[in-house]
Chains A and B, each alone.
Chain A
């Protein structure tokens, strides 16, 4: 499959870039942080994104979407990464809508997906139960009682969990933690009885939440898919989201690097531009090489999502490849972003620190480099 963008895709990317630069620049993140925003994103900007059709990018037409493919959504996310524009695109669309599409029945999909596209419904997805990504390590329990399930347990690091209308969570209907069988998926109302949502203020100024479920009762209609067989749909959804997050990281990494190169040409010491020093030139050239690999990895992974002949295993391999590579390079480039700017890079007034903070959260989210290298090795049978 070709690794060059079509004309339509280039147009989409250019318009997304202009939108983010003009309407969602990095000063917005700074303002949200200083205001201690409850949402963690700007509602008015999100409304504009909805008007641009971004939430419906990868959703089927029959559910109100535009079927522009994951490559299209990935290009948009890449541009949001350049200005660190936060929105429910990751929580509600990339994770929420994908999980509904993968696991939901026809009624759930035709009722809820159009609401997501229209921006009338915000979802959040709770997977992990500890400080590290481990989607099969589910201890939360769901016990069937009559026509209801009773959910008990905790979930952590739920992106936009405190502002979602509904939460999708994994819970165990049988088996032990780390067993992929026995995991079921449920949809809860944010105001359900027994549900406590505790906002966590993260270093990147986007908000996540922890969840405590104490005997939360949901009707059996709230089950997504088949009881005990939810892991496959969950993992496929996570792979879509991992690739989407890698796209966002790609935008951030490219933006940091562009700022580094500009600074190397502008800053003078010892009577010359510091970019003339070979010690910095070689590090910059190495970063350039790694970022070129990142671009190919992300594009290859997005193409794989849009390729109808690709298997779930193909997608899993490409997702782990992209997320591992981007997590690794994102760490290097964000650190160099500080180092190469010298003292000014350490100041809050300067923007580069925002990229460092977001980089680490994005690296951890849905599995860091070592998680995905381990998974990649397992997928290759070694």
Chain B
């Protein structure tokens, strides 16, 4: 206990000295740090903050120190998070390397692979993207057809991926490929890591309903990948793929958690809380004048708070801190909550929440329109809501699988 208190004191002192002033203000979307070879730092203090945090390994607090991580225990990491929260410190580095690849690389990768990739993830030097979905393989991901054929000591990769988040900005890809075509679909998949600068890789951004293009189509035309870049065993990539999905779901379910009280974020603006927005756009003083909306917002806030408690309970119950079977439930519910949040925000703002462009709307109002549209993807990406419910039904509740019942007959 004493050691933890000392850790808290020294952490607090270090943060006091090293967290730059502008890094203690609410994050704005254009200043989120994703890292990578071509990393952009709209705010120079973001770079300073990243480097200081990365030197301590605190961008990945619980990862082993030998690979550049913070080497903290879960208790220490909790204290670090509390101290960061206490001064409203910004997240120094956001990346799929941290939230998705890193945890499975630590679990399945070789020592050499870890030595090569983990430190660069911790320092934000390499930005990763995820090569999972294909045009014909969405919910039925295991039917994927991108192939990798071994020629000498290289794999030759051909095929295409879709919904590859930020592929056009990424340096490396973790990619599911088919390495055996003669066996049942789950048994012929391998997990390959390669450089997006390799000859034969091309990307094409997809414009979405929100007007932005966070996702790409990604094409592989005779891309040559060193055989040593295979992660895990040949044809056993599916179990790694599923493990990574659990981490992805844990990350996405966090969308429903923003502040636990159903707010958009830590800002003090008019749209920061649902009830604040609803009263502001109606000119209400003490009490929200629309009783139906008031009831819906109250119900939403209750569900948000109960969900936040459930996330807390779930992480306390899984002592080791890794994702559990409840990750599908949390992903499902968190995403539905986030979609509800935006529908309620539109109701709260009336026509001011529906602007697309122009001076008649505040920047913040236009942002809400785009975020509302973006939120629709929450229950599709990382496995649809329906896929999560299937997983809960079969894995948690133990209900029978219709497809295997039919196949048996």
Contact = CB atoms under 8 A, between A and B. Distances in A.
A373 B389 contact: no
Contact of A261 (B295, B306, B326, B399): B399
A278 B306 CA distance: 27
Contacts of A285: 329, 332, 388-390, 392-393, 396-397
A193 interface: no
* Interface magnitude class on chain B: 35 or more
A321 B275 CA distance: 17
A324 to B, nearest CB: 6
B400 A275 contact: yes
A299 B309 contact: yes
A376 B298 CA distance: 7
Q: Interface centre among A4, A282, A382, by most B CB within 10 Å?
A: A382
Contacts of B298: 324, 373-374, 376-377, 380
Interface stretch (B6-14, B60-68, B234-242, B312-320): B312-320
A294 B303 CA distance: 9
A282 B400 CA distance: 13
Contacts of A328: 299
A272 interface: yes
A147 interface: no
B306 A325 contact: yes
B399 A275 contact: yes
Nearest to A370: B295
B405 A292 contact: no
A69 to B, nearest CB: 18
Contacts of A108: none
B344 interface: no
A3 interface: yes
A295 to B, nearest CB: 7
A284 B397 contact: yes
B305 interface: yes
Given A272-B400, A288-B396, A376-B302, A3 B313 contact: yes
B317 A281 contact: no
A297 interface: yes
Given A273-B400, A275-B399, A324-B302, A382 B279 contact: yes
A141 to B, nearest CB: 30
A294 B306 contact: yes
Contacts of A299: 309, 313
B288 A377 contact: yes
B275 A377 contact: yes
B294 interface: yes
A284 B278 contact: no
A107 B274 CA distance: 49
B287 interface: yes
B401 interface: yes
Contact of A289 (B309, B313, B332): B332
Contacts of B317: 4
Given A373-B298, A382-B297, A284 B312 contact: no
A377 B294 contact: yes
Interface string A364-382: 0000001001101110111
A382 B399 contact: no
A300 interface: yes
Nearest to A260: B397
A278 B401 CA distance: 9
B299 A373 contact: yes
A325 B302 CA distance: 7
Interface string A197-235: 000000000000000000000000000000000000000
Contact of A4 (B310, B316, B397): B316
Interface string B130-172: 0000000000000000000000000000000000000000000
A300 B309 contact: yes
Given A285-B389, A289-B329, A296 B397 contact: no
Nearest to B390: A281
Interface of B: 275-276, 278-279, 286-288, 294-295, 297-299, 301-303, 305-307, 309-310, 312-313, 316-317, 326, 329, 332-333, 386, 388-390, 392-394, 396-402, 405, 409
23 contacts: A265-B398, A271-B409, A275-B393, A276-B402, A281-B393, A281-B397, A282-B386, A282-B393, A285-B332, A285-B390, A288-B392, A288-B397, A289-B333, A296-B306, A296-B312, A297-B306, A373-B298, A377-B275, A377-B288, A377-B294, A377-B297, A382-B279, A382-B297
Given A377-B298, A382-B279, 15 more contacts: A285-B329, A285-B388, A285-B389, A288-B392, A289-B332, A289-B333, A289-B392, A293-B333, A296-B307, A299-B313, A321-B306, A324-B299, A324-B302, A377-B297, A382-B275
